[in-house]
Structure 1
Amino acid sequence: MVPFNRLFTAIYLSVVYATVAIAAPWVPGQSNIGTHRVHKIGKRGVELVAFSPPSKFEVFEDGVEHPNTNSFAEASLEESTVAFVHDRLSLDAESISFKRGFADDKTSYGYVQQKHNGINFANSVANVAFQNNKVVAFGNSFVKPADIADSAPVVSLEDAIATAEDALNGKRNEIDAKLEYVVLEDGSAILAHVFQIRNEKEDVFYEAFVDAHTGELKSVVDFFAHAAYRVLPIHKSVPTQGFELITDPQNIAASPSGWHNDGDFTYTETWGNNAASYQTFTTSNTPMSAPGHIFDYTPNFNIAPSSAVNVHAARVNTFYVTNVLHDVWYLYGFTESAFNFQLNNFGKGGEDWDHVQISVQDNGGYNNAVFGTPPDGQAGYMGMYLWTAFSPLRDASLENNIIIHEYTHGLTNRLTGGGTARCLTTTESQGLGEGWSDAMADWATVTSTTAPDFQVGNWANGRNIRRYPYSASTSVNPLRYSSLASSSGVHQFGEIWANALHNVHIALLGAHGYSADAMTNANATGGNAVFLHLFINALKLQPCNPSFVDARAAWIQADVNRYGGANRCLLWKTFASRGLGVGAVSRSYVDDTSVPSGC
């Protein structure tokens, strides 16, 4: 069995101390939430100012010809991707490093990094999408550094590790160290030793970037962003809707060995190829055993969550919800080659050994939940906390919308940028991440052509933890694109995107009806199935650190790719109704309600 890990939400951070002022935005006059993230970390009061070069994103609807059209059909995905980036950005092939790629049933995706003297850049990346031998989308954050460090390190790896271990209060783990360039806000590129630092007891898990010429810790990636089973069925949000005993819910098309077998071993615990659920590190990390796989525990809300029956119920419910989502998303394209979470990928691509580890009643805090997404090949981590608004305390593990919200962070961080977990790191893109997570929880509850107003955390917390319910009514929820300018923090930014997607879902249900089998049939035609296809395909298309405008463009291009643009005007009208029309400009946060001609 693999060890349990504490992982943290991916935040690409440049480290400065609290006495240093935050640097000016990348583009003067624009908000910095699309390129920066400010975060405090550690007991020493270190202030982290995140910077990522802004991505440029183009979509081409029906596609543009590849520069090597005559040989495109015979070329590999790597060759085609590198050739297009080379042509589009006028770069020589030695400046482009193919990272990885994959194909789903409609589209192929290639991901590259910029490089210099054979060394990759950590935060200068590009992605290309191909369909029908044409390019349909291109995103990149490639840069022309004003100054670039020599490619020969001066500081030893051992000294760099000692610096990072001291600053981050952890120890280097077993993942191989490497050299990478890191672009800073002033346009320079430093050479960095890159490795991972861990301290499970102190909730530390970072990828550290130490300047290989000065020995300074310059950046980190923080990896933390969360049979028969008596559970709260996936379409229910809160325990008051009733637990049920569900028999054999696994989908063999997505989990060929079932939920309790990894292809080599069968487990009697809440452990399997896709997920492992256990109680927090303060007690026991041994999964619960149920011979015969009959996990039948009815929670008792009149006694403490720490009672045995409630711990068992929490383990079972989180294990069930996470596995259901794994299977649903798998059918819609979040597969092994697309960087999903599995111990065993059965030779179908991607990296093994990265199922989701779920800590129920986690000791990391209260009134919250977390999901950590490291790169493909390292286990995801979901931490589910207790909530203190009631006595006895309430357990987030028994409120499905919180579980779904957390696991969706894994989906969005893995699919954006090609499995690196480095591409939702600015304040704006992390806000999108929060919005996608709420929108997925919202989607799961819809059981008819009507998508009612939706709230988050109202059982655990006693009230909605968002400013407004998600609603088509502007009197119930007035949030628009321009609301970003007056909002604060990633969750408030996320509310704006989640509400836009709530309205998109309503529009698609109105146009296509509802498919009751959408969770088990990716060929379903209802608006709920269309919504999920566009949701997942758009993540694959969008650039590293997308803006709201980029994310909207990716949805519209995803519709062109999968449905031939059948929903193009519906999408434009819906996004425009919340300020994301044709004239909306990335990172300006000024409403536009215009739609393309013909719509």
Structure 2
Amino acid sequence: MKFWSNFLRSIFLAVVLATSATASPFPASLKHTTLQVREISPGVVVESFHPESSFETFGVNGIDHPLSAREEFDLKDATVSFIQSRLNIDADSISFRTGFSSDVAQHAFIRQQINGIPVANAVANVAFNMANKVVSFGSSFVTTPSNVPSTSPSISVEDAITNAESALSGKFNEHPPTVEFVAKKDGSLALTHVVQIQNDTTGAWFEAFVDAHSGELVQLTDFVAKASYLVLPITKETLLEGFEVLNNPQNLAASPDGWHSDGTTNTTSTAGNNAVAFKGAQTNTTTQSSVGLNFIFTQNPKAAPTTQANIDAARTNAFYIVNTVHDISYVYGFTEAGFNFQNNNFGKGGAGNDRVTISVQDSAGTDMAKFATPPDGQSGRMRMFLWDYTNPQRDGALENDIIVHENTHGISNRMTGGGTGRHGDLDMLNVGSCLQTNEAGGLGEGWSDAMAEWTEHKNATVVDFVVGQYVTNNPAGIRSHPYSTNATTNPLRYSSLQNLTEVHGIGEVWANMLHNVYAGLVRVHGFSGTALTDPTTTGGNTVFLHLFLDALTLQPCNPTFLTARNAWIQADKNRFGGKNFCTLWTQFASRGLGVNAAAYKDDSTVPSGC
């Protein structure tokens, strides 16, 4: 066994290095959209391929599908028949995974299968309006090659696990392995063992696709979203704005048993149905300071963050923010059926037992934060670190924009791709991420900054927004520019992507576009002071968050700036009948993402009539 494992290790190293060195030239415009290159250890590089997604939208009224004449609508049947006709493929190639309905649309998530085996990175999603018409369709299905690998693995799953553990410097986490195809950049397929590998010391959490015939590591999914940025009432960015005592801040429409009960078990600590905040181990939570679920811990900024009172203040704040984000996103559509994070789903759909675990003052690093998003049914994992820009250090768990940013990675990863990221089967818990390419990962960073900004607006005046001021002790924050409607203050445009390769830099472009979209909507509709809890208000901030979350469920796997923009346009048609059509196009076009934008070249054109 040891010789065989070493032999596989040798094959893996040789193949991965050769692949990295000899890869044929690839169009620059597709590198961000289809590839993710990771150096997992010195000299060992894995290039993961994600087929480019097509995305079509069909306006307010939508279009018919082949079964439109049926008296009774069936989401699965309608979806399969539509894809079969749209892509001209056999029904046997289409595997319906799951679906759910929101208040304005019905969503279906599908995966491609070949010879009865799913293709991990070939997925599709269809949205129907409430009149059962198709309003959008995204697909990354691939052409079946003439030479399909044998569906019987040549190496065992045990050897694949050993190989992956060695390559990724981690341990198999006992999550059930699966066998799936992976579509490769050259058009071929690889049969793979799919296993999850974790390293609790470094915080790494990968899904490894090991070729079941050669032993090569052909694909990786990284569940961890990393950041080097920062985040009291949720409308405050930093503790410099002042702590407040909030009484009963939970929204019972989203958390019917409050934040300290899962409907069966009650707690008096920073643990509940939606989240648990701890240090070191999940049992090390903060217990109420007095009877009645009072968590009153005064933070001392002159003392080290590791003093007990400061630890309790940090755990309390992180617990409050994550629960508040849960409640806000819930009333806007990120519910149990929409693959949210809860231990008890109260029979409302989705998979439970997946509250967010929040490790404050995590020992695995400094000056950043992380969020790992496994599939629905596995807990999201937030890791908050200390920052050493100052003496004493400052705690990221006391900077609200950091926490909201990280939490939003969980939202965008779950909602893009139907709960698992790459449309894996919920029963089999096949997992992955639909935000794995550079461009899609950048969009993820942008959504996270935009959500953090949304929570902190207090009125109709849209001021410039700076991320990460407190922990760095720098009013300029940690982004290259403030988010601004002023093109001098923030000159980032769609064409800026030509020179950006890192996801946070790409994310700044998208976040600034969304800042401009937000400003445009508030200018037209005004500001609602109750949008945090009431999604029925008509303010521009309310409209913005509806479109934000609705678009996540519409867009295809591994979206681009163009398909993400189109998802916003279609989301507006679905929910508001297209009333914001020109406002949206005007704001996107103002930053180069106009009608004719393509291949990272700016265009300021808006549709006729705008």
- Alpha-carbon distance, 1:154 to partner: 1.8
Specify the alignment match of 1:526 in structure 2: 539
- Alpha-carbon distance, 1:462 to partner: 2.1
Specify the alignment match of 1:504 in structure 2: 517
Structure 2-normalised TM-score? 0.92
SS at 2:58 equivalent:
strand
Match of 2:590 among 577, 581, 584: 577
Q: Distance in 2 between matches of 1:286 and 1:25?
A: 52
Q: Distance in 2 between matches of 1:433 and 1:201?
A: 25
Specify the alignment match of 2:135 in structure 1: 136
Q: After the TM superposition, which residues 335-346 of structure 1 pair with which residues of structure 2 at under 5 Å, given as runs?
A: 335-346=335-346
Q: Distance in 2 between matches of 1:416 and 1:143?
A: 19
Are the equivalent residues in 1 in contact too, given 2:47–2:219 (CA < 8 A)? Answer: no
Q: Distance in 2 between matches of 1:264 and 1:198?
A: 31
Q: Which amino acid aligns with 1:456?
A: V
SS at 2:382 equivalent:
strand
Q: After the TM superposition, which residues 93-242 of structure 1 pair with which residues of structure 2 at under 5 Å, given as runs?
A: 93-131=91-129, 132-146=131-145, 147-225=147-225, 232-242=232-242
Post-superposition Cα deviations, 1:278-325, rounded to whole Å, max 9, x if no partner, equal: 1135xx752111143110011111010100111101100010000001
Q: Distance in 2 between matches of 1:539 and 1:529?
A: 16
Q: Distance in 1 between matches of 2:186 and 2:210?
A: 17
Specify the alignment match of 2:10 in structure 1: none
Specify the alignment match of 2:39 in structure 1: 40
Specify the alignment match of 2:59 in structure 1: 61
SS at 1:68 equivalent:
coil
SS at 1:342 equivalent:
coil
Pairing 1:75–2:76 present: no
SS at 1:120 equivalent:
strand
Runs of 4 or more above 4 Å deviation? none
Pairing 1:428–2:439 present: yes
Pairing 1:356–2:348 present: no
Are the equivalent residues in 1 in contact too, given 2:48–2:218 (CA < 8 A)? Answer: no
Distance 1:577 1:204, change over 3 A: closer
Q: Distance in 1 between matches of 2:585 and 2:386?
A: 41
Are the equivalent residues in 1 in contact too, given 2:111–2:123 (CA < 8 A)? Answer: yes
Post-superposition Cα deviations, 1:30-69, rounded to whole Å, max 9, x if no partner, equal: 2411111222224x54222222111011111121111221
Match of 2:567 among 534, 539, 554: 554
Post-superposition Cα deviations, 1:399-440, rounded to whole Å, max 9, x if no partner, equal: 101111110000000000111131000000000000000001
Q: After the TM superposition, which residues 348-427 of structure 1 pair with which residues of structure 2 at under 5 Å, given as runs?
A: 348-421=348-421, 422-427=433-438
- Alpha-carbon distance, 1:220 to partner: 2.2
Are the equivalent residues in 1 in contact too, given 2:73–2:132 (CA < 8 A)? Answer: no
Specify the alignment match of 1:49 in structure 2: 47
Pairing 1:277–2:288 present: no
Match of 2:459 among 439, 442, 448: 448
SS at 1:575 equivalent:
helix
Q: Which amino acid aligns with 1:55?
A: S
Q: Which amino acid aligns with 2:253?
A: A
Post-superposition Cα deviations, 1:46-102, rounded to whole Å, max 9, x if no partner, equal: 22222211101111112111122101x513211111111111001111000111111
Q: Which amino acid aligns with 2:32?
A: I
Specify the alignment match of 2:503 in structure 1: 490
Q: Distance in 2 between matches of 1:17 and 1:396?
A: 38
Q: Which amino acid aligns with 1:441?
A: A
SS at 2:316 equivalent:
helix
Are the equivalent residues in 2 in contact too, given 1:25–1:31 (CA < 8 A)? Answer: no
Are the equivalent residues in 2 in contact too, given 1:238–1:399 (CA < 8 A)? Answer: yes
Post-superposition Cα deviations, 1:477-498, rounded to whole Å, max 9, x if no partner, equal: 0111001112231111000000
Pairing 1:459–2:470 present: yes
Structure 2, unmatched stretches of 5+, are 1-14, 422-432
Are the equivalent residues in 2 in contact too, given 1:22–1:49 (CA < 8 A)? Answer: no
Specify the alignment match of 2:482 in structure 1: 469
Q: Distance in 2 between matches of 1:171 and 1:420?
A: 21
Specify the alignment match of 2:261 in structure 1: 261
Q: Which amino acid aligns with 1:64?
A: I
Q: Distance in 1 between matches of 2:260 and 2:577?
A: 39
- Alpha-carbon distance, 1:18 to partner: 8.6
Distance 1:478 1:202, change over 3 A: closer
Are the equivalent residues in 1 in contact too, given 2:46–2:218 (CA < 8 A)? Answer: no
- Alpha-carbon distance, 1:158 to partner: 1.9
Q: Distance in 2 between matches of 1:29 and 1:374?
A: 30
Pairing 1:541–2:540 present: no
SS at 2:20 equivalent:
coil
The percentage of counterpart residues that share the same residue type is: 52
Q: Distance in 1 between matches of 2:596 and 2:312?
A: 52
- Alpha-carbon distance, 1:172 to partner: 2.3
SS at 1:70 equivalent:
coil
Structure 1, unmatched stretches of 5+, are 1-14
Q: Distance in 1 between matches of 2:583 and 2:271?
A: 43
SS at 1:247 equivalent:
coil
Specify the alignment match of 1:328 in structure 2: 328
Post-superposition Cα deviations, 1:154-188, rounded to whole Å, max 9, x if no partner, equal: 21222222222222233323322211100111111
Q: Distance in 1 between matches of 2:55 and 2:266?
A: 45
- Alpha-carbon distance, 1:538 to partner: 0.3
